[in-house]
Structure 1
Amino acid sequence: MNGDKDPLHGLSLEAIVTELARYFGWDELGRRIAIRCFQSEPSVASSLKFLRKTPWARAKVESLYLFMRREQARQRPRS
């Protein structure tokens, strides 16, 4: 996948986590991705610390972000 087609290109992990937390809320985020940093005293900072050293969890977060973006696109009225 090249940078032109990669929807994550240019996005920081912090921006992704922040947007997911805003869209789903921490409770729902913790249900969708069952990791402690989303379930117990969640914060962007603690999530980033864990996700930066845990590739499988980061992959789940990126996948959920792409799902969220597809859902948002589906909900937008077409002109």
Structure 2
Amino acid sequence: MSTQPNNPLHGITLENLLHALVERYGWDGLGRRVAIRCFTHEPSIASSLKFLRRTPWAREQVEALYVDMLAARRR
């Protein structure tokens, strides 16, 4: 039984979340939606994870974009 049934981020790792966003939007699209350098200049999963893990405001924006993407898929 899930302890957070209404939390779409529960059980999703940051790496999986990032892979899903890159698959959906690509690096260019992701860089347009969340304007951070690790998405626009020589992007990689590793550099993005490193930045997002130590930058709370950027992680919040990426997580919000993921939640929006999930909501759009349900429609």
For the criterion TM > 0.5, the same-fold answer is yes
CA RMSD of aligned residues (A): 0.9
Aligned to 1:64: 65
Q: Aligned pair 1:8/2:20, yes or no?
A: no
- Where does the alignment leave 5 or more consecutive residues of structure 2 unmatched? none
In structure 2, the partner of 1:48 is 49
Distance 1:59 1:36 in 2: 16
Secondary structure of 2:7's counterpart equals coil
Q: TM-score, normalised by structure 1?
A: 0.89
TM-score, length of structure 2 as denominator length: 0.93
Between Structure 1 and Structure 2, how many residues are aligned?
73
Shift of 1:73: 1.0
Unaligned 5+ residue runs, structure 1?
A: 75-79
The runs of at least 4 consecutive aligned structure 1 residues that moved more than 2 Å come to none
* Bigger-Rg structure (1/2): 1
For residue 28 of structure 1, what is the aligned residue in structure 2?
Answer: 29
Q: Which residue of 2 aligns with 1:77?
A: none
